[in-house]
Amino acid sequence: MISRITSTAVQFLNEALARRPRPDCLICGNDRVALVAYQHLLSVGLRIPKDIGILGFDNMVAIGDLFLPALSTIGLPHYDDRQSGGLAYHT
């Protein structure tokens, strides 16, 4: 299933990159998708962020700083499941 998701993402990226003018930035639904996009953009010779920007969303897997340059990501307030479940129970 992961390879199907990756191939779909790469197909979408290729279509987006073929448009003129090319997008200034790709906004990804989460950092895992951003990782696939980031790798593909580099593999086709694009320089991030000089040629195209990329933005992740969730910062859940804390991989943003592993990129060079670092991945820009929008962090979400992730809570301990026990804490959030307890709050829902008491309200």
Write the pLDDT tens digit of every residue in 68-91.
888 898 887 765 555 555 444 444
63 has a pLDDT exceeding 90: no
Contact 61, 76 (CB under 8 A): no
Domains of the chain by range and CATH? 2-90 (3.40.50.2300)
For residue 35, the tally of other CB atoms under 10 A from its CB is 21
Write the pLDDT tens digit of every residue in 10-21.
898 999 999 999
The pLDDT value recorded for residue 42 is 94
- Of 31 and 89, the structure prediction assigns the larger pLDDT to 31
Question: Which are the contacts of 55, defined by CB distance < 8 A and separation ≥ 6?
Answer: 25, 26, 27, 28, 34, 71, 72, 73, 74
pTM: 0.74
Contact 26, 4 (CB under 8 A): no
